[in-house]
Amino acid sequence: MNSHLTPGIVSGRLSADDIARNFEDLHPPYDAHEAAVAADRCYFCHDAPCTVACPTSIDIPLFIRQIATGQPEASAVTILEQNILGGMCARVCPTENLCEEACVRETAEGKPVEIGRLQRYATDALMAKGVHPFTRAADTGKAVAVVGAGPAGLSCAHRLAMKGHTVDLYDARPKAGGLNEYGIAAYKAVDNFAQAEVDWLMQIGGITLHSGMALGDGLSLDALLASHDAVFLGVGLGGVNALSAEGADKAGVLDAVDFIRDLRQASDLTTLPVGRNVVVIGGGMTAVDAAVQAKLLGADNVTIAYRRGRDRMAASRFEQDLAASKGVRLLFNVQPVTIHGNGSAVEIELEITSEDGGSLKGTGETLRLPVDQVFRAIGQSLTTDAGLKIEGGKIAVTGAGATSMAKVWAGGDCASGGDDLTVTAVAEGRDAAEDIHATLMGQAG
């Protein structure tokens, strides 16, 4: 359905100046003095619970000590050795639920060392110099296909290139970056940072990007295996789960991921249409990003409607509080049953739910909200299994991403066992690359 034909969905609700202010950097970067003060709060714990909590196992006390001693570029290398997308992860990683939650300062005082902002300070300092700190090993003569240029694929491709392998990196979209480029809120990565980071990463050499090519659409696994020594799949979850509510096909009912993609790629946000009354269905990060950005574009009333209680939301409490601070209403224990309207959405009917032993059921009691734009943010699904074993709707993997097919590895959101975080995808891509390298060089145990 074309939302542009819906009367309540229009562009230009706010002036360009208002929009520019609304979409400023969520966490402004530290200057040198602020970074030094923040670093000085670290206890440099020997057992480092923060490092244990980091999916990429960055040596956090070391990188903070390097900042404290005036070595931000060396600090960045410490970070990037473990997490080549450390700059983006510093911006989007839920540090409040990972390293900062584990910080001893958080336990003792309720105020952790701001590890994420310190990580950004260090990585930004190095990237500003335009220098890539890693070099390629001698050419191994081996070629690897990496399908999907999101966090997992980029991490895998960089580590393989660093080991001396030749990498063909394929992606369905015009730009590399995956969700970093197309799927996160604009205020989390301002100034085209996602592409700047990709360009910086590609300086390692040995990686050729092939855009507009997707698995099952221009690419076949058999052909890739015939022309490469190994294949890594980091294809993400491209399908969007359907909304099982009457009237879900009305104009004004859209996928949240498409809204976020269009916003991220728009050159002028005043031209992006948004409703006056917006309801987002879902409880994850995509729901929050869509809801907050709808509000920042000038929607009058924005509501997140989630079918379970607050404690079951996938979005962190920080993100929930951020949404509330921007004027987004959070409704819990409600599920959509009908979207009313003559062709276009004008009202949404929500049923109040209850949980019994983890099982969700409707109570029969309903409420209605005026709406002209509804965003689906109820999860995504795998678009192709490429003939591989599937587990829980994702590609089944063991160890460092080995699939059911020889010479094929997978990681990131498309693979089983992960938690759908950028930082986890980076770790899985990195670890798969190490396993691929060991296998290709005859070092696998």
CA–chain centroid gap for 294, Å, is 19
pLDDT, tens digit (0-9, with 9 covering 90-100), for 125-144: 999 999 899 999 999 999 99
Average pLDDT over residues 251-266: 96
pLDDT score of 358:
80
pLDDT, tens digit (0-9, with 9 covering 90-100), for 263-276: 999 999 999 999 99
pLDDT, tens digit (0-9, with 9 covering 90-100), for 334-384: 999 999 999 999 999 999 999 988 889 999 999 999 999 999 999 999 988
d(CA 345, CA 72) in angstroms, rounded, equals 52
d(CA 33, CA 234) in angstroms, rounded, equals 39
Q: Percentage of residues in the chain with pLDDT exceeding 90?
A: 91
Given a cut of 70, whether residue 3 has pLDDT beyond it is no
9 and 45 assigned to the same domain: no
Average pLDDT over residues 430-441: 98
d(CA 226, CA 161) in angstroms, rounded, equals 20
- The secondary structure of 81-143 as a DSSP string is HH-TTHHHHHHHS-GGGTHHHH-HHHHHHS----HHHHHHHHHHHHHHTT-----PPPP-S-E
d(CA 68, CA 436) in angstroms, rounded, equals 37
In a domain, 135, yes or no: no
179 and 261 assigned to the same domain: no
pLDDT score of 62:
97
Q: Which of 267, 247, 316, 251 is nearest to 287 (CA)?
A: 316
Average pLDDT over residues 388-407: 95
Q: What are phi and psi of 140, to 5 degrees?
A: -85, -15
When computed from its CA atoms, the radius of gyration of the chain, rounded to whole angstroms, is 22
d(CA 428, CA 410) in angstroms, rounded, equals 8
Average pLDDT over residues 396-424: 94
pLDDT score of 418:
76
Q: Which residues lie closer than 8 Å to 237 by C-beta, 6 or more apart?
A: 380, 381, 382, 383, 394, 413, 414
CATH number at residue 118: 1.10.1060.10
Question: 117-135: string of b/e by CB count within 10 Å (b at 16+)?
Answer: bbbbbbbbbbbeeeebebe
Do the beta carbons of residue 320 and residue 413 sit within 8 Å?
no
Given a cut of 50, whether residue 279 has pLDDT beyond it is yes
Given a cut of 90, whether residue 417 has pLDDT beyond it is no
Structural domain count of the chain: 3
End residue of a domain, out of 84, 102, 128:
128
Q: Which of 25, 412, 326, 422 is nearest to 192 (CA)?
A: 25
Average pLDDT over residues 395-416: 96
pLDDT score of 168:
98
234 and 244 assigned to the same domain: no
46 and 70 assigned to the same domain: yes
41 and 51 assigned to the same domain: yes
Q: If you average pLDDT over every residue of the chain, what do you get?
A: 95
Helix (H, G, I), strand (E, B) or coil at 51: helix
Instruction: Specify the DSSP element, H or E, that contains 334.
Output: strand 334-340
252 and 215 assigned to the same domain: no
Q: What residue type is assigned to position 235 of the chain?
A: V
Confidence of residue 445 (pLDDT cuts 50, 70, 90): very low
Do the beta carbons of residue 100 and residue 116 sit within 8 Å?
yes
Span between the terminal Cα atoms of the chain, in Å? 53
How many CA atoms are closer than 13 Å to the CA of 404, on its beta-carbon side?
A: 12
402 and 343 assigned to the same domain: no
123 and 151 assigned to the same domain: no
pLDDT score of 240:
86
Given a cut of 50, whether residue 1 has pLDDT beyond it is no
In a domain, 134, yes or no: no
CA–chain centroid gap for 398, Å, is 23
d(CA 74, CA 80) in angstroms, rounded, equals 10
173 and 283 assigned to the same domain: no
Q: Which of 262, 269, 321, 327 is nearest to 295 (CA)?
A: 327
Average pLDDT over residues 190-198: 96
Confidence of residue 87 (pLDDT cuts 50, 70, 90): very high
pLDDT score of 222:
95
249 and 372 assigned to the same domain: yes
d(CA 94, CA 422) in angstroms, rounded, equals 10
Do the beta carbons of residue 325 and residue 300 sit within 8 Å?
no
Full domain range(s) for residue 95: 32-128
Average pLDDT over residues 92-109: 94
Average pLDDT over residues 95-104: 94
In a domain, 406, yes or no: yes
Given a cut of 90, whether residue 420 has pLDDT beyond it is no
372 and 275 assigned to the same domain: yes
d(CA 271, CA 140) in angstroms, rounded, equals 50
pLDDT score of 443:
67
Average pLDDT over residues 40-45: 96
- Lowest mean per-residue pLDDT among 32-41, 111-120, 383-392: 383-392
End residue of a domain, out of 71, 101, 128:
128
pLDDT score of 5:
54
pLDDT, tens digit (0-9, with 9 covering 90-100), for 212-251: 999 988 899 999 999 999 999 999 998 888 899 999 999 9
pLDDT, tens digit (0-9, with 9 covering 90-100), for 290-343: 999 999 999 999 999 999 999 999 999 999 999 999 999 999 999 999 999 999
Report CA dihedral (421, 422, 423, 427) to the nearest 10 degrees: 100
